[in-house]
Amino acid sequence: MKNPLPKQSTSYWHDSVDLPRFDKLKETIKVDVGIVGTGMTGITAAYLLSKQGLKVCLIDAGLILNGTTGHTTAKITAQHGMIYDEFISHFGEENTKLYYEANIQAKNFIENIINENKINCHYTTEDAYLYTESENYITKLENEYKAYEKLNIKGELIDTVDLPFPIKKALKMSEQAHFHPLEYLKALLQACKENGVKIYEETRALNVEHNKHSTIITEDDHRIFCRYVIQASHYPFYDGTGFYPARMYADRSYIIACKTNKTVNNGMYINAETPTRSIRPIEINNEDLLLIGGDAHKTGQSNDPMISHYEALQQFAEKNFGLQEIVYRWSAQDLVTLDKIPYVGPVTKAQSNVFVATGFRKWGMTNSTNAALLIADLITEQDNPFKELFSPGRDIKADPSIRKIISYNTDVAKHLIKGKMERPEEDIETLEPNEACVTIVKGERAGVYKDADGRLHAVDTTCTHMGCEVQWNNAENTWDCPCHGSRYTYTGDILNGPAVKPLKKLVL
C-alpha cells in the first residue's frame, strides 16, 4: 500500500510529552492509602485523597502512565456507543440516568480541574455523534434517541454530519470534549507531589495481606502498610475471591493517527454498527490530523493476523478520507464486565477497605474519573449516589448477565483446552527477523521470536495467570493470552495483567 503503517507501535500521547521519572520502592513504608496503578484512576484518586490530608502512595509495575490511559482516543464523553436504550431495558430508567450523570459529573470535574489549574492540555468542547451508514440501524438510533429523551440527555437526531461520506442517520450528544490526557495527568501528578504523595515506578504489587493493617506485598518483598488499598491497575492483581476472571473479558482495539486529503473540523464520531469506527480530529505539530480507531476483538483471539486490524483502519481512511500518511499507530486494551457497567468499590463485600476499579469498556476518560471520585468518597465516608450502581457486589441480572457468564467461561475453557491439545510444528529455521513461531523445545511448548539482529528469544507459552497458552501478536510483537488478557513482551516480561509473574524463559 502506498501509505504504509509505521513499523513500530507508538502512542502519540507518549511521544509528545516528557513525563517525570520516579525511583523504585526499596523499603517498607506506611501510609493511609496505597494505590496500585498510575493511570487516570490512580492519579486522580491520589490527587483527591491527598487534598483531604491523607498520606498516599502511588506505585506502578512499570513506568507511570504507560498503560491504557496512554493509549486512549481521549474522548471525554457520556456517549458510550448505543447503550442507553439497552440499559433502560436491563436496569430501568433510574439506574441508567445515574450512569449518564456519573459520566457527565466526571466530564465536568475534568473541565473544572483544567480551568482551575490553567492546564494546557488542548481541551476542546465538541459534540459527539453516533452515526450509521446502514438502513438496518436507523430504528435502533431512533430508539436510542427516545432513551435520551427519557433521561433528559441533551441530544438531537439528525440526517447530516461533518463527515466526507454519506450517512443514513446520526444521534448527537451535545457539549462533550476531547483533550491530551497525559498533559492533563502530568499536571495532576505535579499537584500530587506537592501534596506529599509518594510515587514509585517499577514496583510490582503481587498480593494484599490482612492483619492489623492491609498490606501490599511487592515483587521485591517490600511492604506497604495502609488503611486502604485501591487497585487502579486495570485488571485487579488481587482477586479476594471476587472471581473477576469469570466476570469480565479483555478486548483490544486499534488506532491510527493520519494525514488525509479530507478532514473533520468539528465533532467526534463513532458508528453504531460493527466493526467499530471511531473518528476524531487531532492537532499534531500544528497540523490537522485524524485519529481513527476501532476493529476490536478479544485479546489473543483473532481469525486473522493482528496486523490486519491496523490494515482495516488504513483501508477505511484511504476509502473515506483520502489517506496521505499514517504518522502513528497504537493499540489499547480494556475490560468489559458482564453487564457493561464498571466494577467500582470494595473488591468483595467482606473486604471493605480494599477497592477495585475496572471494566471501563473503552470509555475510560470519564469512567476512570468517576471511579476515582466514588472511591475517594467511600474512603472519606461521603455520600455518593453512584455507590450501588457501580458496586462490584451488585446483584447479577438474569438478563443479560447469566447467559454472558456461561458464554465467557465456555470461551475460556475452549481456549484453555485448545492450547493444551495443539502440537505445534512450526520451524524455527524459517523465521525471518521480527517473526515468531510456536514450536516444541525440549518437550515443552515454546514461543520463539527472532529479533532484528537475528537473535532468538524463547519462552514457555503457558500464561502464568491460569495456565492458558498465549498467542503471538504480530502487530505489537507480544505474546497475548486468549483467556483473560495477560500480555507479555517477546522476552516474557509482563505488559498487562492479571498475570503477576513473567513467562518462563527457555534455553534453545
**DSSP 8-state code for residue 469:** B
Instruction: Tell me, yes or no, whether 384 and 450 share the same domain.
Output: no
Helices 181-194 and 84-117, axial angle in degrees (round to 10) = 60
Instruction: Tell me, yes or no, whether 352 and 237 share the same domain.
Output: yes
At position 10, the amino acid (one-letter code) is T
Residue 422 lies in a domain: no
Which carries the bigger pLDDT value, residue 18 or residue 413? 18
Per-residue pLDDT tens digits for 31-88: 999 999 999 999 999 999 999 999 999 999 999 998 888 899 999 999 999 999 999 9
Query: In sequence order, what are the beta bridge partners of 178?
Result: 75, 124
Q: What is the pLDDT of residue 415?
A: 46
- Does 140 score more than 90 pLDDT? yes
Alpha carbon distances (Å) from 405 to 336, 337, 398: 12, 10, 10
Q: What is the pLDDT of residue 12?
A: 97
Query: 204-228 as b/e, with b when 16 or more CB fall inside 10 Å?
Result: bbeebeeeebbbbbbeeebbbbbeb
Helices 40-51 and 364-379, axial angle in degrees (round to 10) = 30
Q: What is the pLDDT of residue 152?
A: 97
Alpha carbon distances (Å) from 245 to 45, 367, 375, 396, 486: 24, 20, 22, 15, 11
Integer-rounded Cα Rg, in Å, for the chain is: 22
Residue 377 lies in a domain: yes
Alpha carbon distances (Å) from 29 to 34, 224, 284, 290: 10, 5, 42, 45
- Does 424 score more than 80 pLDDT? no
- Does 478 score more than 50 pLDDT? yes
Instruction: Tell me, yes or no, whether 390 and 439 share the same domain.
Output: no
- Whole-model pTM: value is 0.92
Instruction: Tell me, yes or no, whether 371 and 239 share the same domain.
Output: yes
- Across the range 404-409, mean pLDDT stands at 51
Residue 117 lies in a domain: no
Task: Let me know: does 74 contact 181? Beta carbons within 8 Å.
Answer: yes
Residue 7 lies in a domain: no
Instruction: Tell me, yes or no, whether 435 and 498 share the same domain.
Output: yes
Of 399, 417, 436, which marks where a domain is finished? Answer: 399
- Across the range 91-105, mean pLDDT stands at 97
Burial status of residue 394 (CB atoms within 10 A of its CB: 0-12, 13-18, 19 or more): middle
Instruction: Tell me, yes or no, whether 493 and 347 share the same domain.
Output: no
- Does 465 score more than 70 pLDDT? yes
What CA–CA distance (Å, rounded) separates 484 from 298?
9
In the block, which residue shows the cell 492483581? 237
- Does 156 score more than 90 pLDDT? yes
Instruction: Tell me, yes or no, whether 345 and 474 share the same domain.
Output: no
Alpha carbon distances (Å) from 43 to 65, 234, 373, 379, 442: 9, 13, 11, 16, 45
Instruction: Tell me, yes or no, whether 352 and 392 share the same domain.
Output: yes
- Per-chain mean pLDDT for the chain: 91
Residue 59 lies in a domain: yes
- Does 418 score more than 80 pLDDT? no
- Does 426 score more than 80 pLDDT? no
CATH of the domain at 221: 3.50.50.60
**DSSP 8-state code for residue 402:** I
Instruction: Tell me, yes or no, whether 372 and 480 share the same domain.
Output: no
Q: Where are the alpha helices (DSSP H) in 118-250?
A: 138-151, 181-194
- Does 442 score more than 90 pLDDT? no
Report the relative pairing of strands 248-260 and 323-337 from DSSP bridges.
Answer: antiparallel
- Does 361 score more than 60 pLDDT? yes
Nearest to 188 by CA among 49, 24, 342, 13: 49
In the block, which residue shows the cell 509482563? 494
Residues 6+ away with beta carbon under 8 Å from 147: 84, 85, 87, 88, 96, 153
Q: What is the pLDDT of residue 444?
A: 82
Nearest to 237 by CA among 456, 9, 37, 24: 37
Alpha carbon distances (Å) from 144 to 107, 272, 473: 21, 11, 36
* Run of H or E residues at 355: strand 351-358
Instruction: Tell me, yes or no, whether 439 and 385 share the same domain.
Output: no
- Does 409 score more than 80 pLDDT? no
- Does 450 score more than 50 pLDDT? yes
- Does 2 score more than 80 pLDDT? no
**DSSP 8-state code for residue 408:** H
**φ, ψ of residue 33 in degrees (nearest 5):** -130, 125
Range of the domain at 237: 19-72+182-246+340-399
Instruction: Tell me, yes or no, whether 434 and 483 share the same domain.
Output: yes
Task: Let me know: does 67 contact 234? Beta carbons within 8 Å.
Answer: yes
Q: What is the pLDDT of residue 443?
A: 78
CA trace torsion 415, 420, 423, 424 (10° rounding):
60
Work out the percent of the chain whose per-residue pLDDT is above 90.
78
Which carries the bigger pLDDT value, residue 254 or residue 507? 254
Residue 361 lies in a domain: yes
Instruction: Tell me, yes or no, whether 349 and 242 share the same domain.
Output: yes
Residue 129 lies in a domain: no
CATH of the domain at 439: 2.102.10.10
- Across the range 120-141, mean pLDDT stands at 97
Question: Read out DSSP for 262-330?
Answer: S---S-EEEESSSS-EEEEEEEETTEEEEEEEEEEEETT--SS-THHHHHHHHHHHHHHH-EEEEEEEE
Query: 77-112 as b/e, with b when 16 or more CB fall inside 10 Å?
Result: bbbbbbbbbbbbebbeeebbbbbbbbbbbbbebbee
Q: What is the pLDDT of residue 398?
A: 42
What CA–CA distance (Å, rounded) separates 350 from 427?
51
Residues 6+ away with beta carbon under 8 Å from 58: 35, 37, 38, 42, 43, 46, 64, 192, 197, 198, 199, 200
Helices 364-379 and 84-117, axial angle in degrees (round to 10) = 80
Q: What is the pLDDT of residue 396?
A: 59
Per-residue pLDDT tens digits for 200-239: 999 999 999 987 778 999 999 999 999 999 999 989 999 9
Nearest to 498 by CA among 301, 244, 251: 244
Task: Let me know: does 465 contact 498? Beta carbons within 8 Å.
Answer: yes
Q: What is the pLDDT of residue 271?
A: 97
Residue 106 lies in a domain: no
Question: Based on the structure, what is the number of domains in the chain?
Answer: 2
Quickly state the pLDDT bin for 496 (edges 50, 70, 90).
confident
Nearest to 248 by CA among 407, 380, 391: 407
